[in-house]
Structure 1
């Protein structure tokens, strides 16, 4: 009788059940990390408006503004590599804290800089510091949650990233009108605030089974891993497809729509992610990773490819909805595979190389996409993205069997490895 009553109550509370599936059972330490991530992204006002600031406030031309933003992206990609090495050598905590504090100082300095050359240099240094933090921070999340909860935890972190981005976009508009320097002061301030939170609440999370001292702690072990590097290559190309959305305004303007139309249709991307991203881990759990990735790149290719045939605001909004679904699926599956292919004793280094691929896509997608659009037109670009989606779907499907074999062997090692006990976390099974 009691069990039937409990089942009845459970069926009567779908929202509560959904919240439990999405966010229940995760350790307290994860939520401190999640909160730090949300704070950082909500305050990332200078990062979001850097191009606008350079153009509208400082009066620099578009090519210079693009170079500054591009160098920042290159710095972030490059910083992920030493960040992963140092997080495995020194620990997650010192790399995360030192990188965040140095990034805050660089962010504030960027707002004070007036020389074009100095701005370029600070932008790249800032990117390096931010890139160093990424693999250490992601490794901390993986360290403190149970293996079965890792995909869910990373998906929650991605959701917080997008929620914070939406808030930051609104906040940045107010700040740049009130006092442009506030963009950099607020951004630097939230970096320091999140660092204080992490310093007070999050201990060192690196697994207690150390790397053998005779083994050099470098990137060689990652770069020699053919299965993982193929995955990184496919990931880079897949995310480069998504990043070609930066060229979408060119199509919008070519079709005679108002320049603000891009802002209206790209809201669909953010709204879908915030509304639906938390559902996906449960939905995709029953499918193989390579199948989810194949579908994700097909959806991305179809979404961008269909931009050839639309010329209205609602038409573009529909294309954004299609490739956003591909982006959402790609996020869940790529995060899962990256974690599953990363050995315990080299976790941060593997995640550093993975982050390098993701960040590199932020440069490759717009750069190559802009070149193709300039030389051959946006129609050729979107047709090319569609074809790339087909190729990547085949590639991900073919890469699936060796990935599964490798993941099975690593999971056996992971289960036998010594696990770290973190204060405030749930007992491990």
Structure 2
């Protein structure tokens, strides 16, 4: 075990571990995002349609925030983006807990999503800045592991808090955000690459999104990532499928718990399994595994089979997530990492909205079996897309790794 841990977590810089601790603390207190819908319906007694709209505003704010945060991280620095995002989000979360006016709740929820989004691209860009290329897959996997541990604990604690004193959801969430900001302020130095260390093309960059939006290789990768996350997010329809098979509503808890338990227990073993393989091929294999999981869901009619289906697609998710994160880092120019992270996050923002929406429409019109088989087919198309896109990604990565020409060195005259 000692040797395995050295290979999994050894050799990473101290700054990374402060960032890892920040992630864990932040996610341990992410009560508002988890229980906002329950709070609005059960505590404030709003209509479910209003609650759904407010949750959608949180997602929209997060999408806008990641774009803004990427620009801030590249233009002014990683620390300004992380500190301003967390402090402003803390104040917004506290205000959200103190108001009961529908318009104010909607506006503050949108703002909360925006500020939380501002901090995220800078956070991931800092990990990429401080961790060497050889160790990034391990580092990003450890960060994803911390996210899932924090989420699992927060979901349990939030259920207790909302029954005891709902305002504590917002007060403790604000305190955790301030604690995250304090840890970053004290222990995480600025890591944005200095202008003299980047290539000539990066020095000419004006700090906008144009460079990212003209990068067809990266945009294709982001679109494919969004589609596979859409498949996973469509699992919001799993309780409907359980009910259609005559299973109790309480069955959803142990079935979906397989996902969190597997990630917490097994995610740290993934880097050693996939590190030596090409990223695009790894993602393609992961998409096939995810599609196979949905095929099992289509055939499931017992709690055991539904649990097996979650186990299968979770294996694919565990392979895909660190490979996706590492490939994002590989495809991003050093001076534009924040903006590339911001645009990449749009794929997940799209999926978090489109997955449940498409899943609900398909289930209501054609039934859940068509939904699961359709998601399995879509996952196979994503796998094919990643295989076809692999050569172009390899060329772009090799171009980014090539040393920039020295403008001070004269070009030899042709013979």
Q: TM-score, length-normalised on structure 1?
A: 0.91
Mapped contact 2:89–2:174 kept (Cα < 8 A): yes
Question: Shift of the alpha carbon at 1:82?
Answer: 1.2
Question: Shift of the alpha carbon at 1:378?
Answer: 1.2
Match for 1:191 among 170, 177, 183?
Answer: 177
Mapped contact 1:304–1:319 kept (Cα < 8 A): yes
Match for 1:111 among 97, 103, 107?
Answer: 97
Question: Shift of the alpha carbon at 1:36?
Answer: 0.6
In the other structure, the counterpart of 2:309 is 319
1:345 counterpart = 2:341: no
Mapped contact 2:137–2:275 kept (Cα < 8 A): no
1:135 counterpart = 2:125: no
- Render the CA deviation track for 1:320-339: whole Å, top value 9, x for unaligned: 00110111111021011100
Mapped contact 1:27–1:144 kept (Cα < 8 A): yes
Q: Give the 5 Å matches for 1:18-417.
A: 18-209=4-195, 214-413=204-403
In the other structure, the counterpart of 1:424 is none
Distance 1:304 1:52 in 2: 28
Summarize the Cα distance change of 1:381–1:321 in structure 2 as closer, same or farther, 3 Å threshold.
same
Distance 1:56 1:30 in 2: 40
Mapped contact 2:195–2:203 kept (Cα < 8 A): no
In the other structure, the counterpart of 2:411 is none
Mapped contact 1:79–1:130 kept (Cα < 8 A): yes
Question: Shift of the alpha carbon at 1:61?
Answer: 2.4
Question: Shift of the alpha carbon at 1:414?
Answer: 8.7
Mapped contact 1:344–1:414 kept (Cα < 8 A): no
Structure 2: state its 5+ residue gaps: 407-415
Summarize the Cα distance change of 1:40–1:33 in structure 2 as closer, same or farther, 3 Å threshold.
same
Q: Give the 5 Å matches for 1:412-423.
A: 412-413=402-403
Structure 1: state its 5+ residue gaps: 1-14, 417-429
Q: Give aligned pairs, total.
A: 402
Q: TM-score, length-normalised on structure 2?
A: 0.94
Distance 1:94 1:287 in 2: 36
- Render the CA deviation track for 1:135-168: whole Å, top value 9, x for unaligned: 0110011111111111111110000000011111
Question: Shift of the alpha carbon at 1:215?
Answer: 3.1
Q: Secondary structure at the match of 1:60?
A: coil
Question: Shift of the alpha carbon at 1:415?
Answer: 13
Question: Shift of the alpha carbon at 1:413?
Answer: 4.0
Mapped contact 1:74–1:360 kept (Cα < 8 A): no
Summarize the Cα distance change of 1:187–1:174 in structure 2 as closer, same or farther, 3 Å threshold.
same
- Render the CA deviation track for 1:362-408: whole Å, top value 9, x for unaligned: 11111211121122221111111011011111111100111111111
Distance 1:214 1:334 in 2: 28
Q: Secondary structure at the match of 1:260?
A: helix
